[in-house]
């Protein structure tokens, strides 16, 4: 892979080439990507989607702040921008022609990573990580398995392994009436967004991180391959024709996400009393022992100030470490030979693993998280069953008045019954995935007759 191709400013529908040296410096193409994501309705809905902890959390009589998908995404974007800028400086130093001939600046790398990081969770369903599993379970073991015979193997795999990353690519790129090309992001940003540039089959054909999950549904296959061809991603021999190695900047997007959920989810757990402060601070101090100002730290009287100080140091420490690993392995990354996440090869891997293990035990498996996920499973399954049944009945001509009323309650762009069974089921899944936590609860209550 070569950087001048990977940094393509092309957008869906372009008929002429966009050159970096001809860009308006007051509104660069990569910065436009960021703006388009942040003003999109799909991004705004993240304000009411669970990150880890349900919201709001009551601790005694006091309500504590916890991160939503939106606040998490904003923080990942900030960290990603720093990662991209620092790495960009070193890439331009190594390949000066990128600046001298093509006009690229180090801020371009930061802007691409920031925009892709901002969008990284845009396709995730409500109710945290269990939302994807709930949709998949509906088709694999629930009422949705009745449609198996009407689907190809790969179409069925798209549904039983419903993937937020693939749904995100769909949201960012799908054409609608009067809106061709979705958000029309630059292909460089779309490339950096694609964590797993492969189809749902074959499933995990290798141990390479690009093969861990999948990144596009069959409905987006043609455009996915157009993006891949433009930015020059290398074909992955473990899944020929349908899988590719990552865009190098994807590693930085992933690192930004890993840094934030490792440190900030941990901070949420401490603030909520799920992790004892003394115990937690010890974990963080191990991570920042080389950079901590002990005098400054000991002068802080407030536990929240101490925690904020350690959090900032920890994030900066991991940013520097991730960039170091990225630059050290840049040649391997360009050849598709770097097979793991950056933090997995960093010098702080053991400390990060310790924090994650404690978070899994004390935070991710606490009663409130489990209760939220259980409720989410039932809500998602019920909504999928009602809507998919009504749409398929209309498609097959055996619909009832209730079916017709139910479909009228859907947004107009999800009402079509003219496509294949796969298209109808995927669109219904994407509609449910688009709902915020509160919207899913409200619609479910309404359809169950609990509210009028």
Domain limits of the chain? 3-123+248-364, 367-447
Least confident of 51-55, 74-78, 85-89: 51-55
**Can you give the pLDDT at residue 83?**
98
- Render pLDDT for 356-391 as a digit per residue (tens, 0 to 9): 999 989 888 888 888 888 888 999 999 999 999 999
Residue 61 pLDDT: 38
* pLDDT for position 389: 97
For the cut 50, the answer to whether the pLDDT of residue 57 exceeds it is: no
Comparing 15-24, 120-129, 236-245, the range with the smallest average pLDDT is 15-24
Q: Which residue has the higher pLDDT, 3 or 27?
A: 3
- Domain spanning 3-123+248-364, CATH architecture: Orthogonal Bundle (1.10)
**Per-residue model confidence (pLDDT) at position 65:** 65
Encode pLDDT of 163-183 as tens digits: 999 999 999 999 887 777 889
* Residue 451 pLDDT class (50, 70, 90 cuts): low
- pLDDT: which is higher, 306 or 147: 147
In 3D space, the residue among 299, 305, 295, 298 whose CA is nearest the CA of residue 271 turns out to be: 305
Question: pLDDT per residue over 21-42, tens digit each?
Answer: 888 888 888 999 999 999 999 9
More confident residue, 27 or 258: 258
């Amino acid at each position: 892979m070569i950087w001048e191709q990977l940094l393509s400013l092309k957008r869906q529908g372009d008929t002429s080439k966009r050159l970096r040296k001809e860009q308006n410096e007051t509104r660069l193409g990569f910065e436009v990507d960021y703006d388009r994501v942040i003003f999109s309705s799909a991004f705004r809905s993240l304000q009411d989607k669970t990150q880890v902890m349900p919201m709001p959390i009551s601790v005694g009589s006091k309500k504590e702040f916890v991160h939503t998908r939106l606040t998490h995404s904003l923080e990942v974007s900030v960290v990603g921008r720093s990662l991209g800028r620092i790495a960009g400086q070193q890439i331009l130093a190594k390949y000066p022609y990128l600046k001298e001939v093509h006009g690229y600046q180090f801020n371009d790398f930061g802007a691409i990573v920031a925009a892709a990081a901002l969008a990284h969770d845009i396709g995730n369903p409500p109710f945290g990580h269990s939302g994807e599993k709930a949709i998949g379970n509906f088709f694999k073991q629930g009422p949705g398995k009745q449609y198996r015979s009407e689907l190809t193997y790969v179409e069925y795999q798209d549904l039983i392994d419903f993937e937020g990353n693939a749904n995100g690519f769909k949201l960012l790129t799908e054409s609608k009436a009067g809106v061709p090309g979705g958000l029309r992001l630059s292909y460089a940003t779309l490339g950096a967004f694609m964590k797993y540039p492969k189809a749902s089959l074959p499933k995990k054909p290798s141990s390479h991180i690009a093969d861990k999950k999948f990144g596009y549904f069959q409905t987006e296959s043609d455009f996915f391959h157009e993006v891949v061809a433009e930015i020059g991603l290398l074909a992955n021999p473990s899944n020929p024709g349908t899988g590719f190695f990552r865009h190098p900047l994807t590693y930085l997007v992933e690192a930004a996400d890993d840094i934030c959920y490792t440190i900030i989810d941990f901070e949420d757990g401490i603030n909520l009393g799920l992790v004892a402060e003394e115990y937690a601070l010890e974990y963080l101090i191990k991570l920042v022992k080389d950079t901590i100002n002990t005098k400054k730290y000991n002068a802080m009287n407030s536990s929240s100030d101490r925690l904020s100080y350690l959090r900032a140091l920890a994030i900066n420490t991991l940013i520097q470490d991730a960039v170091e690993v990225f630059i050290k392995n840049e040649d391997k990354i360009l050849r598709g030979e770097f097979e793991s996440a950056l933090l997995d090869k960093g010098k702080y891997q053991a400390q990060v693993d310790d924090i994650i293990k404690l978070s899994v035990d004390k935070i991710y498996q606490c009663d409130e998280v489990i209760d939220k996920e259980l409720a989410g499973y039932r809500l998602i399954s019920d909504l999928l069953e009602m809507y998919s049944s009504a749409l398929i009945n209309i498609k097959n001509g055996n619909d009832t008045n209730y079916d017709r009323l139910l479909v009228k309650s859907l947004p107009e762009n999800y009402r079509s019954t003219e496509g294949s069974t796969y298209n109808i089921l995927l669109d219904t899944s994407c509609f449910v995935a688009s709902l915020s936590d509160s919207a899913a609860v409200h619609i479910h209550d309404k359809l169950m007759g609990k509210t009028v």
